[in-house]
Homo-oligomer: A and B are copies of this chain.
């Protein structure tokens, strides 16, 4: 900057003031031009560290994730966060801890050294987690999970509403025997599993239908169990006419079962999934109607909160999972 000043024949302070033009038309147009020319000529770029040193806070937001970047889908979370950050001219300082607590502490420490404006603590899948104490010191929010201690604000998908919407979609198509292949809830206590189940029961209840254990199964959330339980359900005496699979992989398994039983989807059985996995849902035949986890929106929202100062008020913001219509749902074949 001193070089620029010299080249423009003014003082360093003038250069700074002109560049940040905070002070309106404090300087003559001619001087301003000389400064700008010199800047371009010398290819000057302001040193961000000097700036931060003076101002106290950096134009960076820390992002700590367990394995977010390498997870096939949750990566979109980073994209959302980064988009939002950039809208305010901030960059993301990212770390994938892979669950390594030591790395987590150390990298968080480094981030704090860099005076990040805040920290997003993201998780690969929705759960309750322990957050590092050091986060208490600066604006921070838990993303795609919730702070077990209930202190930091969290942003997470609205699983209950998701389960409700999925089920309603089937009910409104005219189905009354709606099966469910969920992820095991009790042991895992996963908000996704618990919430989707709750949404399912709520929708049935609201429609005046009784919960029927005969058409409900709990599995591991993979295609094996999807296959196995769909097989069970569809070969039973009174098979359901529609199944809500609490994730897309389970739905894939159900597709395989249907194919093996020579049942058509959605002709013989309608299916709704959950997750909208881009490598799967659009490519199944027929395309899978499913709910999308709003990763990008959640990422954006988390940074939003940081930029607003993110008090540790323990609030949990649940974001809606949009229904993605494809072709796996229709009305039941015959209304018995």
Contact = CB atoms under 8 A, between A and B. Distances in A.
Contacts of A75: 69-72, 75
Nearest to A90: B110
B110 A89 contact: yes
Contacts of A103: 86
A294 to B, nearest CB: 13
A196 interface: no
Task: Name the residue among A50, A71, A91, A111 with the largest chain B CB count within 10 angstroms.
Answer: A91
Interface in A249-292: 249, 252, 256, 259, 277-280, 283, 285
Contacts of A280: 279-280
Contacts of A89: 110
A45 interface: yes
A58 B49 contact: yes
Contacts of A50: 49, 53
Chain A interface residue number, banded: 35 or more
Contacts of A109: 45
Nearest to A92: B94
Nearest to A72: B72
A93 B91 contact: yes
A112 to B, nearest CB: 6
Interface in A83-142: 83, 86, 89, 91-96, 98, 103, 107, 109-115
A199 interface: no
A48 B110 contact: yes
Contacts of A296: 70
Contacts of A79: 67, 69-70, 96, 98
B78 A94 contact: yes
B91 A92 contact: no
Interface in A27-66: 45-50, 52-53, 58-60
A218 interface: no
Contacts of A283: 222-223, 249, 252
Interface in A155-202: none
A14 interface: no
18 contacts: A45-B109, A48-B110, A48-B113, A48-B115, A49-B115, A70-B75, A70-B79, A71-B75, A72-B72, A72-B279, A91-B110, A91-B111, A92-B95, A93-B93, A223-B283, A249-B283, A279-B279, A279-B280
Q: Which 5 A-B pairs give the minimum distances between C-beta atoms?
A: A48-B113, A72-B72, A49-B49, A75-B75, A70-B79
Interface of A: 45-50, 52-53, 58-60, 67, 69-73, 75-76, 78-79, 82-83, 86, 89, 91-96, 98, 103, 107, 109-115, 222-223, 249, 252, 256, 259, 277-280, 283, 285, 296
